[in-house]
Structure 1
Amino acid sequence: MPARDAEPFPRAVLDALDAAADRPVLEHGARAVAGAEVLDLVARIAAGLRGAGLGPGDGVALLLGVTPEAFAVILAAHAVGARVVGVRPGLPDAQLRHLLGLDIAAVVTDSGVEHPTLAATAPRTLTVDSLCAARADSGALRLAGRPGDVARLIHTSGSTGVPKACAQTYAAMAAGWAARPEGWPPAIRELAPRMERHLVFGTLSSFVMFEYAVMAIAAGGTAVVAERPELPGAIVHHRATSSVVTVPRLAKLVAAQRRDPADLSSLRALMVSGSPLTAARHREALDVLGPVVFHGYGQTETGTISMATPGDPPGSVGVPPAAVDVEVRDGRGAPAPVGVDGELFVRTPAQSSGYWADPEQSADVFADGWVRTRDLGHLDPDGRLHLTGRTRDVVIVNANLHYAGPIERVIAEHPDVAEAYVVAAPDEDTGEAVHAFVVPAAGRSPDPAALRALVADRLGAACAPTRVTAIAEPPLAPSGKPDKRLLSTET
C-alpha cells in the first residue's frame, strides 16, 4: 500500500472529514451529520460498490439529489477508483442516453426513484439504500484510484455549443486545492472563513457545487442543503453565510432586495460564476448587498482560474493565483502586451486531460500542457484579469467577424438596460446582423434607436443591432447560465 501522503483522491477530503469527526459537516433538514458519520457512510458504500464488482476504471453514473448520502456516494465511488459521471436531474432522454453510453458499468440512484430511460438503457442500477446497507471492510478505507486513470467526466454547459465530457484524472483531482487549506490562494483564504453555513442546492453532480461544499467543510463550516433554493428566502431561512450564484440569480437577488429588502445580515459571501459579470452589475451588487461578492472565473476544462474578492475593482476577476499560468495571445499565437485583449490560454494544477473519446476536439483545446479557453481578455498593469468576450461568440457581418461580448457591454452601459445578450440573426443583405435581447432596467423602456446609435458610435455601424427585443429575463440552460442558443431560435 502506498504511503499515506501518496494516496490518491479523495484522501484530502477524507482527512478533512476526520478532522471534523465530532461536528456537523452537512445539514439536511432536521439532520445534522458529523464528519465521522459521513466517513462511515463512505466506508459502507465503498464496500457495497466493491461487492457489486466495481473498481478501478469502471464507469459509474450518479443520478442523485443533494443529501449527505449523495455526498458520500461520490467519495465512495472515487475511493474504489471508478470513473464517475454525474447526471444532472431533468436531462432530456436523448442526453441521458448519451451519458449512459459513455462506457457505464452501473448507475447509482436515490432509493425509490423510477426512471423509464434508466430501466431501458442502464446496464445495472444500484440504490443508495442498498449500498448503505453493506458492511464496511475491516481496517482503514482502501483508496484504489490510479493516478493516470480518469476519475470523473464533467460535462460542459454547452452554452455556445454541444456539451463535451471533460476527463479529469485521479492525479489532477489530487492536485486540486479545495480540501487543502495549505494550498488555498489568497482569494480563497479570504473567502473560506465566510463559509460557516454554506448553502448547497440543485445537484452535487455540479463540480462547482461539490467542490465548494468540500471547501466549506475544510474551512470548518457546514454545507447546508436548501430544499427550496430560491433567493433570498433560502438565505434567510437557513441563516446562510455563503452560497454560489449565477449572474442571472444574482440579478434577481439584487432586484428583490431593491424592491422588498430581506434580512440578509447572515450573508458574508456570494460566489458569482458561470458567465462574466459586467462592471456595472458588479458595482450594483456591491452597493445593494455589501462587500460579499466574489466573482469567480473558471471553466469545466480547467477548474478555477481566478477570483475577484469584494475589494477588487468591479469588472475584473482578480489576480490569478501563483499555481495558475495565464497567457494572453494575439491572433498569431504570440503573447499580447499588458492591457491588450487576446485569447486566454491557461494551465491549472487540476485541469482536465482532454475530452472523453473525442481526440479531434481535444487536440484543438488541449495542447502542450495549455488549455485554450476561447475566452477573450487582458491582464492590467496590476496583474488583474479582465474578461471581454468569447472567440466563438460572434456575428459575421459582410464577412467581417464581430465579437458579441463588446457589443453586449456597450448596450449594458445604457441607463435603460440592465442586461444585454447579442446573437447573430440571418440577414439577406449582410449574411448576419446583430440581434440584441435586452432586460430593461427597473421602470425603464429602452429605445432601440438610441441603443443602435450608442453602439454605432462606439463600435461602428456593422455592430449596431438591427433588431432589439426586450425580455424579462434570459432563458437558462440546465447549468443555470444564460442560454443564447435558445435566444438564437427567436431571430
Structure 2
Amino acid sequence: MGTSISWITDATTGQLPSVPPDSAALAMGAEAPMTYAELRERELRFACSLQRAGVRRGDRVGLLLRNCTDYVALYLAIGRLGAISVRLNWRLTAPELRFQLQDSESTVLIFDAEFGDTLDLIRDRIPVRTYVARPGGTGAAPAWSVPLDDFLGPETEGDFPVVGMDDPLTLMYTSGTTGTPKGALLSHGNALWIGAIQSMSWKIDRRTVALTQGPLFHAGGFEVLLLPALLSHGTAVTFPSGGFSLDAMLAAARRHEATVMLVYSFMLPEFARLEHLEEALPPSLTRIVTGGDTVMPWVYDVFEERLPRVNLTQSYSLTEGGAVAVHLEHEFARGKERSVGRPQPMTEVKILDPFGDEVPTGEVGEIHLRSPGVSIGYWERPEATAETFTDGWCRTGDLGRVDTEGFLTLAGRAKDMIRSGGENVYPAEIEKILTGHPGVHDAAIVGVPDEKLFEVGCAVVVPEPGAELNGEQLRNFLAGQLAKYKIPKHFVFVDELPRTASGKVLKYVMRASYAEIGDRAT
C-alpha cells in the first residue's frame, strides 16, 4: 500500500501497481459508475483549485454536502494537500454548525446551495473565508459564495506536499456525556488500516462490488465498505441523500451485481420480510454486513432458509474505535445471537473495571479497543484525548463481557447513547438545551424501544411550579437548536426524577418505566 490516501487514484497512473483506468470506481444508486480515471481527474482538479484558494497542509476544509461523487473526490483532494476534511452533518441546525466550524477553524467551506440560508445566519461568527456552493436541488449559489463550476479549474498538476501515514486526514464530530461535540481525528494511516482490516476479514478485492448506504459524513457511510472497496480498487456503490428505499437499494444491487452490502440493523426486519427476497438480490451477493444492534434470531432463520449463500455478518465499533472492530460471522452466530462477535484482524479487545484492571472472563466491564484504525485523538481536546486514548487503546464508554471463546456481548452503554435509526443521539446534549427552557425545572432523556427505529428518545420532564407544558411546546423549543433526529419522540411529565442518595439520575429505572410508552407521553 501507499503511505497516504492518494493510493486510491495514484495506482491508475502506472507508477504504482496498476489499476485499469477505465475500471468502475464509484456509483450513486443505479447510475452508471465513475471510472478510476474520472475519479482521479476530478480529485486532482479539486486539489489544484483548493491550493489556488490558499489551502495548505494542516488547514481544515468543511464539507456540508449531501451524498455525491464529488464528496469522495473532495475527501481525496483535501487529503492529497495534507489538509483535513471536516465532515459536517447537514441535518444540524445553525447553532450546531457554528460550533463545529468555529471549533475546527475551517477556512474553506464547500456546501450544497440549499444550505445557504442556514449558513447566512452564522457567517459573521465563523472563520470561513471562502464559500463554495454546489448548485442544484432547491437552491442557487448565494451571492456571497463562489459557484462550484467557477471555483473548479481545469488544472490537474500541482506542487503537492508529501503526505505520510501519521498526517491527519479527516475530522468527524461526535458528542458525549458532557453534551459538547468533539472532533475525532483519523489519520491517513488510520484510513489505510481501516480499509485493510475489512479487506482481510471480508475478502474485499478488485472483484468486489460493495453496496453501502448512509451519509458520507458518518464513518458507517464512508469508512465501512466504501473506503475498503476503493482502497482495494473494487467498485463502491452508495446512494444520493434523501428518498432512499429498499426497492432502490435492491435495484442498484442488481444493476451493479453487488457482492457485499451494508444493511443497517433497523432495516433488517423489513428487508427479511420482502416477499420476493430471493429474486430481488443478485446471484453475485455473498455477504450482508449489519451493525448498530444485535440481529434477532428470526432474521437468521430467514437467511438460512431463503438466502443460504449469503453470510449475514454483525459488526460493532465506533468512530473513534476504527469503524469496524468486532464482527460476528453467520457460521458462529447460532447460540451467540446476543453477541457482536470476535475481534477483526489486527484488533484487540479488553474489558476493564472502573479502576483500570481487567475483569475476569465473563464479567461485565468497560470495552476497550486497540488497532491501527483507532483514532489519533480529538481535535484540540488534550484532556478528552488523554481520557479516551491510552497506548493505542480506545475507551469506548460501552459495557460488555467476553466469554471463554472470545465472543463479545454488549451489556449496556456507559455513555447513555441512544441509537436511533442509524444515528447516535447523546442525551446530555439534549438535556443541556431542554433545561434552558424557562418552564423546565429538571429533565432527563432515555432511549425507549421503537418499532421502526429500534430506539428513540423519551424526555422525562419536571416542570417549574405553575408552568403548563406539553410535548409540542418543547419540540418547537428544541427544533431551532437541535437536528430533527435528536428531538425526543416522547415527552413525559413527572413531579421528580428518580435519583440515588448522591443525586445521580437513575436512568435505568426510567428506561424500564417507559419501555412501553402509554398515556403519559405527549
Give TM-score, length-normalised by structure 2.
0.69
Give the match's secondary structure for 1:155.
strand
| Match in the other structure for 1:222 | 235
Work out whether 1:277 is the aligned partner of 2:297. Answer: no
Match of 1:466 in 2: 513
Match of 1:13 in 2: 8
SS of 1:70's equivalent in the other structure is helix
CA distance, structure 2, for counterparts of residue 163 and residue 272 of structure 1: 26
Paired residues of 1:168 and 1:353 also in contact (CA < 8 A): yes
TM superposition shift of 1:113:
4.8
Structure 1 partner of 2:403: 380
| 1:373-452 alignment runs, 5 A limit | 373-393=396-416, 428=496, 430-431=498-499
Secondary structure of the 1:392 match is coil
CA contact (8 A) 1:187 1:309 kept: no
Aligned to 1:370: 393
For 1:52, the equivalent position in structure 2 comes to 53
Task: Quote the Cα distance in structure 1 between the aligned partners of 2:298 and 2:100.
Answer: 36
| Shift in alpha-carbon separation, 1:85–1:335, aligned structure 2, 3 A | same
Question: Partner of 1:89: helix, strand, or coil?
Answer: coil
1:104 & 1:320 partners in 2: Cα distance? 36
Question: How does the TM-score come out when normalised to structure 1?
Answer: 0.73
Aligned partner (choices 138, 144, 154) of residue 134 of structure 1? 154
Is the Cα–Cα contact under 8 Å of residues 151 and 170 in structure 1 kept in the other structure? yes
Name the aligned partner's letter for residue 336 of structure 1. V
CA distance in 2, matches of 1:342, 1:301: 19
Question: Any conservation in 2 of the 1:434–1:467 contact (CA below 8 Å)?
Answer: no
Change (3 A) 1:53 1:203: same
* Residue of structure 2 equivalent to 1:125: 131
Residue identity opposite 1:9 in structure 2 = S
After TM superposition, give the deviation of residue 131 of structure 1 in Å. Answer: 4.7
Contact between 1:209 and 1:244, CA under 8 Å: does it hold in 2?
A: no
> What SS is found at the alignment partner of 1:431?
coil
Q: How many residues align?
A: 416
Deviation, structure 1 residue 185: 6.4
Encode CA deviations 1:424-474: one digit per residue, 9 max, x unaligned: 9567594389889xxxxxxxxxxxxxxxxxxxxxxxxx7993344259xxx
Give CA-to-partner distance per residue, 1:400-445, whole Å, 9 cap, x none: xxxx99xx9xx99xxx999677979567594389889xxxxxxxxx
Identity %: 24
Kindly tell me: are residues 279 and 464 of structure 1, through their superposed partners in 2, closer, same or farther at Cα, counting changes over 3 Å? same
Question: 1:34 corresponds to which residue?
Answer: 35
CA contact 1:236–1:263 (8 Å) conserved in 2: no
What residue number does 1:169 align with? 187
Counterpart residue type for residue 431 of structure 1:
R
The 5 Å alignment of 1:450-489 reads 465-469=512-516
Q: 1:380: Cα distance to partner?
A: 2.1
- Residues 294, 15 of structure 1: CA spacing in aligned structure 2 closer, same or farther, 3 A cutoff? farther
Residues 69 and 9 of structure 1: CA distance in aligned 2, closer, same or farther (over 3 Å): same
Q: Which residue of 1 aligns with 2:92?
A: 91
Question: Shift of residue 58 of structure 1?
Answer: 0.7
Residue 479 (structure 1) aligns with: none
Alignment partners' CA distance in 2, 1:250 and 1:157: 27
Query: Which AA in structure 1 matches 2:330?
Result: P
Displacement, 1:55? 1.3
Contact 1:375–1:389 (Cα < 8 Å) also in 2:
yes
SS at match of 2:361: coil
Q: Structure 2 CA distance, aligned partners of 1:76 and 1:289?
A: 43
Matching residue's letter, 1:280: P
Distance 2:358 2:77 in 1: 43
Using a 3 Å threshold, how does the CA distance of structure 1 residues 225 and 172 change in structure 2: closer, same or farther?
Answer: closer
> Residues 72 and 23 from structure 1, CA distance in 2 versus in 1: closer, same or farther, beyond 3 angstroms?
same
Distance 1:197-1:95 versus aligned 2 partners, 3 A rule? same
Aligned-pair CA distance for 1:73: 1.1
For residues 39-64 of structure 1, the C-alpha deviation after alignment (integer angstroms, 9 at most, x for no partner) is 11111111111111111011100122
1:140-289 paired onto structure 2 within 5 Å:
142-145=160-163, 148-156=166-174, 161-174=179-192, 176-178=193-195, 180=196, 184=198, 186-189=200-203, 192=204, 196-211=208-223, 212-219=225-232, 221-227=234-240, 228-239=243-254, 241=258, 242-254=260-272, 256-257=273-274, 261=277, 263-266=279-282, 267-273=285-291, 275-280=292-297, 283=300, 286-287=303-304
Deviates further, 77-86 or 29-38: 29-38
Structure-2 separation of matches of 1:103 and 1:93: 16
Q: Check conservation: 1:424, 1:435, Cα contact below 8 A.
A: no
Q: Is the 8 A contact 2:399 2:410 kept in 1?
A: yes
Give yes or no for contact 1:187–1:308 (8 Å, CA) kept in 2.
Answer: no
SS of the residue 2:320 aligns to: coil
Could you list the per-position Cα deviations for residues 387-408 of structure 1 after superposition, in whole angstroms to 9, with x for gaps in the alignment?
22112339xxxxxxxxx99xx9
State the alpha-carbon separation in 2 of the partners of residues 261 and 390 from structure 1: 34
Q: Distance in 2 between matches of 1:345 and 1:40?
A: 41
Distance 1:158 1:264, change over 3 A: farther
Which runs of no fewer than 5 residues in structure 2 stay unpaired? 13-17, 134-147, 418-445, 461-493
Partners of 1:251 and 1:216 lie apart in 2 by: 26
Secondary structure of 1:37's aligned partner:
helix
Equivalent-residue separation in structure 1 for 2:48 and 2:206 (angstroms): 36
Distance across 2 between alignment mates of 1:366 and 1:115: 37
Q: What's the offset of the Cα at 1:21?
A: 1.4
Contact in 1 for aligned 2:316/2:340 (Cα 8 Å): yes
Asked if the contact 1:257–1:288 (Cα under 8 Å) also holds between the matched residues in 2, the reply is no
Aligned partner letter, 2:4: F
Secondary structure of 2:107 counterpart: strand
Query: What residue identity is the alignment partner of 2:311?
Result: V
> Amino acid of the residue matched to residue 351 of structure 2?
V
Deviation sequence 1:14-48 (CA, Å, 0-9, x none): 35555141211122454332111111111111111
SS of the residue corresponding to residue 227 of structure 2 reads: helix
**One-letter amino acid of the counterpart of residue 215, structure 1:** P
Q: Is 2:355 the partner of 1:353?
A: no
Tell me the CA shift for residue 215 of structure 1: 1.8
